[in-house]
Each structure stands twice: as structure tokens, then as C-alpha cells.
């Protein structure tokens, strides 16, 4: 056997042994997971969590302030370009900016003012949060001037994109029990 052949042969054997060890280790690790080893530890909560929760609660105030301008474009600016809106007073799902603007053109005619009654913030990570709860809107009929209040459940899902929090999913529905 030449020197070159010996090296190649040894290299192949080392590679085979290494590959076999990797397969065995992977099989063992998978077996331990199936056999009921301790569950993986949850990642530590970020110190940014508290600041993010406070910021999330303020995002509704920004949205409500945009409603007060009466400008549907300003409201739509708070939504991501690929956002989904399941609105309170429309049966149509809005999946693009034009649809969201259209909804708010009609909704803003009633001069809505929102008030949160209950809020639950879930921080998923430093760039993703969910705010769910109950709010109510004081509305004024644009034709008659009659005022009424609509109580609804809500979910806002926000993502931080390019340093700005945007709504990526907004669901709002009237309370089912009057």
C-alpha cells in the first residue's frame, strides 16, 4: 500500500466512524426525548418585556388618536401592508391597505371614540406582541346624530418592522351576549 492510499483509507475510516457516532448520538438524543426526558427549559424572559408591555398599551392610544383625526389614511398607516382586519361593523375581511382604508372611511363617519375596558398583553418576543380584551366605542350616527355605544371583543397583533410597531392582525367583534 502506498503512502497516499494509506492516508485515503484512514481518512475514509475516520469519516465513517465519525458519521456513525453522529447517527448514534442523534438516535440516542431522539430516544431520550421520546422516553420522557426532562422538558427543555423555557427561555429566560427578556428584560425588555416590561417596557414592551407599557408600549403595547400605548399603541391603542395612538390608534384611537388616529381615529380622532377622521382621516382613514392616518389610521391605515398604523397597519402593516399585509395586515388582516376583521372589523366590528362589517362582514368583509380586509386584507390590504385599500380595504382597510375603505372600512375606516365608513367607520370614521360615526366619529368613534374607543375606551378599553379590559386588556391582556402577551409579549411573544421583542418584535411580536398580542393585546386582547374588551373595548367599547361611543358612536354618533352621521345621519341622525343619535349616540350609542358598542361593546366589543378585540385582538391586536403587532409586529415591530423597521423599528416601528404595526398592526398585522386586528379582530374586533360585538359582544355576543348583548
Which percentage of the chain shows pLDDT scores above 90? 61
Dihedral over Cα of 58, 163, 98, 154: its sign:
negative
28-49: average pLDDT: 43
Which percentage of the chain shows pLDDT scores above 70? 70
Please give the Cα distance from 135 to 117 (Å, whole number).
5
Per the model's pLDDT, the better-predicted residue between 6 and 88 turns out to be 88
Lowest mean pLDDT among 44-48, 91-95, 165-169: 44-48
- 128: β partners: 125, 159
For residue 69, the 8-state DSSP code is: T
Residue 103 has pLDDT above 80, yes or no: yes
Q: What is the mean pLDDT of the chain?
A: 80
- Listed in sequence order, the residues at least 6 apart from 99 whose beta carbon sits closer than 8 Å to its beta carbon are 85, 92, 93
The pLDDT assigned to 94 comes to: 98
The pLDDT assigned to 178 comes to: 62
The pLDDT assigned to 52 comes to: 67
Asked whether 87 and 76 are in contact (CB, 8 A), the reply is: no
Please give the Cα distance from 97 to 76 (Å, whole number).
7
Per the model's pLDDT, the better-predicted residue between 46 and 171 turns out to be 171
Please give the Cα distance from 79 to 74 (Å, whole number).
10
pTM value is 0.71
3-22: average pLDDT: 42
Residue 17 has pLDDT above 90, yes or no: no
Give the helix ranges, DSSP H, for the chain: 3-35, 49-68, 72-76, 97-107
CA distances to 6, 123, 137, 145 from 110, rounded to whole Å, are 86, 33, 10, 9
Please give the Cα distance from 112 to 103 (Å, whole number).
13
Per the model's pLDDT, the better-predicted residue between 45 and 114 turns out to be 114
Asked whether 136 and 151 are in contact (CB, 8 A), the reply is: yes
Residue 159 has pLDDT above 80, yes or no: yes
Amino acid at each position: 500500500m502506498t503512502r497516499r492510499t494509506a492516508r485515503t483509507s484512514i481518512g475514509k475510516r475516520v469519516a465513517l466512524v465519525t458519521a456513525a457516532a453522529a447517527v448514534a448520538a442523534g438516535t440516542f438524543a431522539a430516544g431520550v426525548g421520546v422516553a420522557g426526558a426532562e422538558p427543555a427549559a423555557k427561555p429566560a424572559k427578556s428584560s425588555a418585556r416590561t417596557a414592551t408591555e407599557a408600549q403595547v398599551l400605548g399603541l391603542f392610544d395612538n390608534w384611537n388618536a388616529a381615529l380622532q383625526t377622521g382621516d382613514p389614511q392616518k389610521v391605515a398607516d398604523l397597519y402593516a401592508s399585509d395586515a388582516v382586519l376583521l372589523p366590528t361593523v362589517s362582514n368583509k375581511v380586509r386584507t390590504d391597505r385599500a380595504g382597510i382604508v375603505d372600512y375606516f372611511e365608513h367607520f370614521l363617519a360615526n366619529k368613534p371614540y374607543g375606551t378599553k375596558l379590559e386588556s391582556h398583553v402577551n409579549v411573544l418576543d421583542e418584535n411580536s406582541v398580542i393585546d386582547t380584551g374588551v373595548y367599547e366605542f361611543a358612536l354618533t350616527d352621521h345621519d341622525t346624530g343619535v349616540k350609542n355605544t358598542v361593546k366589543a371583543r378585540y385582538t391586536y397583533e403587532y409586529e415591530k418592522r423597521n423599528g416601528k410597531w404595526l398592526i398585522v392582525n386586528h379582530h374586533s367583534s360585538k359582544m355576543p351576549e348583548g
